Amino acid sequence: MTAMSPPPLASWNDCAAKSAIFTFVRNVADASSALFVPPAERIAAIDHDGTLWCEKPQFVQMTFILESLKGRVDAIPALAGNSLIRAALNGQSAAGLTMAKLIELASAAGAGPTPEEYEASARAWLAGARHPRFHVPYTQLVYQPMIELLHYLRDNGFKIVICSGGGIEFVRSIAEELYGVPREYVIGTALDYDLKEHNGRLWLDREPSLYGPGNEGSGKPINMQAHIGRQPIMAVGNSTGDIEMLRMAQAGRAASLCLMINHDDAEREYAYPAQGVPAAARRHGWHMVSMKNDWRRLF
Amino acid sequence: MTAMSPPPLASWNDCAAKSAIFTFVRNVADASSALFVPPAERIAAIDHDGTLWCEKPQFVQMTFILESLKGRVDAIPALAGNSLIRAALNGQSAAGLTMAKLIELASAAGAGPTPEEYEASARAWLAGARHPRFHVPYTQLVYQPMIELLHYLRDNGFKIVICSGGGIEFVRSIAEELYGVPREYVIGTALDYDLKEHNGRLWLDREPSLYGPGNEGSGKPINMQAHIGRQPIMAVGNSTGDIEMLRMAQAGRAASLCLMINHDDAEREYAYPAQGVPAAARRHGWHMVSMKNDWRRLF
C-alpha cells in the first residue's frame, strides 16, 4: 500500500461483517495464528449475480439470451413453434426457468457457435446494452464494496473463485476485466462441447446439454471440487442457490467466513427477499450484509 | 537465475526439440516479437503417464486400482461374482479397459469415499509401493528433463496444466509435490460427486459415473475448455490419446509448440511404439523427443 492508497474496504461502513472480515483474514494469513491457513487453501468462492453485480430486474444473461432468442426467431420464424421458446419470449415462464434450462434452450435455438464466438457475442451485446432503470452499461453496475473485498483478499494471499449459477462463458467473458479473475477461476453452469473437424480444421462446438451439474445449490460444491479440487474457506452469496456453497466452506477448516449479501436498498438498488437465506444465516452463524446500512457506496 | 544455477534444460542433449523449445519460448515471451503471447494465454498442457513419469509395465494408477480391488474382494468375496472385476483381477482384460472404465469399476466396487479420503489412500499406497523393475517408489520415476522443462516454462510466464487420462484425484494427490502444479491446474478423468448430508454434516461422495468426458482423445480439449476456458499454445504428450490435445494447441495462435515423447530407450526405461503418433507428428510438424538420444538423464 502506498501512502495515498485508501484503507481496505473503504466503501464499507463499520459493521459486524466488516470486523469479521478483518479478523478472519488476519487470522488465516498469520503464520503464528492457530487459525493459519496455507495460501494454497486460502480460497474464497464468490457468487456472481446479485453478489458482484446487479441481478435485477432480471439476470443480465437472461436479458442477453432472450434478446438473442428474439433475433433468432425473427430470422427463423419456425422456432416460434417451440412452446418453451414462445413462452420465454412472451415473458410467461422465463422467471420460472432455471438458468441451466434457459441456457440449454437458448443453445438449442442457436447455431451452436464455438465458445470464442459465444464470448465475443456476449461482450458485443454488453457493450451496447443499457440497464432499464440506471441507463448505464451493466458492466458499470458492479458493487464497489465487493471489488474492494476482492482486492483485500488477494492482498492477503487469497485466490478468488467466481462460482456463478450463470453460464460459464458469459461470466468468463467479463471476469478478467471486471474483477481481475482469470478464466480458469470462473465456474458456472456449463454446456457440453463436441470436437468437430472439417477440412483438417478442429474446433469445439457448444452442445445443447449440460457439462456437469448446473451450478446452483448442490452443484456449486460439486463443481468447486471438480474444477478447483478443494472447497473454499470463505464464501459470499446472496440467494438460496448459494446455501450449499456456504455450508461446505464451513465444513472444513477451523476458520471459515460466510457472508450473504442482503438486497434491502430499494432506493439505491432493489429490495427483494431471498427465500430461506436469513433463516440459514441465523442457523449457521453467517453474516448478513445489509446493502442499505453496511455499504457507503454501491456502484 | 543465480550464478550457480544450471542452465535451462540441462538434462537435454542438443537436439531439434531443445532448440525449438528455446526459440518458441523466447518468441512468445518477447513483447517486441510478432509472435508474442500475453501471459494469460501462455498455457502449456502436459500429459502425465508416459510424459511426466514412467507408465510401464502398466499405468501406476491401474496398479493402485487393482491392488485396492483385490483388498476389497478379500473383504467382500461376493464382489468376485462380478465378471468384470474377476477378469480385471486375473489380468485378462485390464489392459483392454480404458482408464475411465477402470476408474468406474474400482469406484463401483469401493465404499464411495470422499475425494479427500481417496487422495489420502492414493498417497499412502504410493508411499509404500515399489516399481517392479526399478525397485524405487513410483514418485521417483519422474522424468528429470520434463521437470526442467516445467521450470523453464514457468520462469517465462507460462501456466502449466497437467492434462491426464488418469483419475483427476489420483494426479492431484501428487501434482503439487512432484511438479509444483496446484490442484486447480490438474485435469483428469473425473468421477461425478453427490452432496450427502447426515446429522447436519455435509460431504461429497464419489459416484460410479463420469463427470464430463473421460480425459483422453477429444476429451482433452473439451475438458481443457471447461476447466481452463481456453486451449493451450504448447502441448506435450506421448500417446494416441494426446493427438487431439496437440492438434488443438496448434489450431489457435500463430505460435505453438507440440512435442511427443518417444519411448525408445529399452535400456534405461522401456521401448514401446505409440500407435499413430509418428505419422501424426510428421503430418502436423510436431517434434518427436527421443528419450534415448535427446535426454542425457532420465530420472
| Tens-place pLDDT, residues A66-115 | 888 888 888 888 878 877 777 777 775 555 666 666 666 666 655 568 99
B218 interfacial to chain A (CB closer than 8 Å): yes
Q: Which stretches of chain B are DSSP H helices?
A: 16-29, 60-75, 83-89, 99-109, 115-128, 144-155, 168-179, 219-228, 243-250, 277-284, 291-294
- pLDDT, tens digit, 9 for 90 and up, residues B57-101: 999 998 998 888 888 888 888 878 877 777 777 776 555 666 666
Interface test with A, best of B164, B206, B227, B256 (most A CBs within 10 A): B227
Strand partners, B288: B260
Over residues B20-26, mean pLDDT = 98
Size (chain A), residues: 299
Full DSSP string of A36-66: ---GGG-EEEE--BTTTB---SS-HHHHHHH
A159 CB neighbours in chain B (<8 A) are: 184
Spatial separation of the C-alpha atoms in residues A63 and A82, rounded to whole Å: 19
A70 vs A128: which has the higher pLDDT: A128
Read off the pLDDT band of B267 (50, 70, 90).
very high
Chain A nearest C-alpha distance from B299 (Å): 28
CB contact at 8 A, A143 and A149:
no
Whether ipTM > 0.90 holds is yes
pLDDT at residue A212 above 90?
Answer: yes
Q: Which residue has the cell 522424468?
A: B143
pLDDT of amino acid B2: 53
A193 CB neighbours in chain B (<8 A) are: 221-222, 225-226
Over residues A246-271, mean pLDDT = 95
A202 interfacial to chain B (CB closer than 8 Å): yes
Distance of CA B127 to the CA centre of its chain: 19
Over residues B2-9, mean pLDDT = 79
pLDDT of amino acid B151: 98
Choose the closest CB to A183 out of B212, B229, B248. B229
B113 interfacial to chain A (CB closer than 8 Å): no
Over residues B107-118, mean pLDDT = 74
B203 CB neighbours in chain A (<8 A) are: 251
Which of A275, A273, A299, A277 is closest to A288 using CA atoms? A277
Cell readout for B68 is 485396492
A69 vs B240: which has the higher pLDDT: B240
pLDDT of amino acid B25: 98
B204/A183 touch (CB, cutoff 8 Å), yes or no: no
- Helices A115-128, A168-179: axis angle to 10 degrees equals 60
Chain B nearest C-alpha distance from A62 (Å): 21
pLDDT at residue B167 above 80?
Answer: yes
* pTM recorded for the entire structure: 0.94
pLDDT of amino acid B110: 59
Q: What is the mean pLDDT of chain B?
A: 92
Strand order in the sheet with B287-290: B186-189, B159-167, B43-46, B234-237, B257-262, B287-290
Chain A nearest C-alpha distance from B81 (Å): 32
Tell me the range of A282-296, B58-72, B187-201 where mean pLDDT is highest. A282-296
